[in-house]
Copies of this chain bind each other. A is one copy, B any other.
Amino acid sequence: MDALQELELYKEIVNHQLNIFFKDRLREVQDIDPYASYMMDLLREYTLRGGKRIRAALMYYSYKLFSKQNIDEAIKGSIAFELIQSYLLIHDDIIDQDFLRRGKSTMHKMYEEAHLKSFGEEGSEHFGISMAIVAGDISNHLANLLILNLNMPIERKIKAAAELNRVVHRVLYGEALDVLSQTKKKISESDVMKIHTLKTASYTFEGPLLAGAILAGADKSSLKILSDYAIPLGQAFQLQDDILGVFGDEKKLGKPIGSDLREGKKTLLIIKALHEADKREKKIIMAAMGNPNITTEQIEDVRAVMITTGSLDYSRNLAKKLIRKAKKSLEKLKGDKEARNFLEGIADYMSEREY
């Protein structure tokens, strides 16, 4: 079985776990207020909507690297970063003013629509934002409680919880720098890579891998190797994300192509293209960037510029180089062979992913 099949298989396990988890949480909050149940239900739907569950899989396989015991509890714990993902995405969608997430309304849009339906238009936008801030916060506390309440050795749980908070804390500076970068005229390649590292690499790869390994009792040198694998792979993951956002398949992605352009997001693709572009090409890019009414033709023109300037190749090659670096780090990794194969397979899959 290759890593992609394992990922697909584990996705089912994760979704099953999430269903059980939210059923328990729904029972817990029903004494608070019917509206608390309603909120939990929206969070359940949002979290279960899809996604590759790569964070959960990484945490699980990282646990399996170093322990064969208490696997059921490791599976339970592996959804922690999926809850963190919901928390960060909900807040991120408010910040990016996005309306769609995995083909459906973002959290603030869901609450806005609910307000519109029951109480009318006035104040509905702010109501949506308010409730989504709270819903994101709730998901974060649920993730923390999940880790703290696992049936595992407490000295490991406390380290894993600290790692979770440490990593997410860093993600937030990445988020802030990303927001700030929208206001700046000039952004360098190293600025973009810093944001990628903070915002994506840390919590998509490093956080789950370290948390899983810590719960399994891994030693410090193994954690170091996992970080050396996680950071370049996470950077490559984000570069691929940016490429797919312009060149990918809308159906497979579940979000509109070109939304990064529409938002004026300064991806490496854009920065490199602007750097290499002639006057005419610069004009094409600038007309598309941050344009809420961007047309399909404009997106196609930007694509052409990214190809002719060599920007697409540059991002692709950098991603490949980072993936090689990540795989190189794995050579030193000890632990369960099957789990190591999975991590190597994930690195291979990163070079070819389509969604």
Residues of A whose CB lies within 8 Å of any CB of B are 29, 32-33, 35-36, 39, 91, 94-95, 97, 115, 118-119, 123, 126-127, 129-131, 133-134, 137-138, 140-142, 144-145, 148-149, 154-155, 157-158, 161-162, 165-166, 168-170, 172-173, 175-177, 179-180, 183, 194, 198
Contacts and interface: CB of A to CB of B under 8 A. Distances in A.
User: What does DSSP make chain A's interface, helix, strand, loop or mixed?
Assistant: helix
A134 B173 CA distance: 8
B141 A148 contact: no
Nearest to A144: B165
B176 A141 contact: no
Instruction: Give how many copies assemble into the complex.
Output: 2
Contact of A176 (B35, B94, B123, B198): B35
A91 B154 contact: no
21 contacts: A33-B173, A35-B177, A39-B173, A94-B129, A94-B133, A95-B129, A95-B130, A95-B134, A118-B183, A123-B183, A127-B183, A131-B179, A134-B172, A134-B175, A137-B137, A138-B173, A140-B140, A144-B165, A154-B155, A154-B158, A161-B161
Nearest to A184: B119
A14 B276 CA distance: 55
B183 A131 contact: no
Contacts of A145: 162, 165-166, 169
Given A33-B177, A129-B129, A134-B179, 13 more contacts: A39-B173, A91-B137, A94-B130, A94-B133, A95-B134, A131-B179, A133-B133, A137-B172, A141-B168, A141-B172, A145-B165, A145-B166, A154-B158
A141 B36 CA distance: 23
B179 A33 contact: no
Nearest to A161: B148
Contact of A131 (B123, B144, B176): B176
Nearest to A146: B165
A39 B97 CA distance: 22
A39 B162 contact: no
A149 to B, nearest CB: 6
A39 B123 CA distance: 30
Contact of A127 (B134, B140, B165, B179): B179
A261 B166 CA distance: 40
Which residue, A94, A175, A176, has most C-beta atoms of chain B within 10 A? A176
Which residue, A29, A36, A115, A134, has most C-beta atoms of chain B within 10 A? A134
A141 B169 contact: yes
Nearest to A132: B133
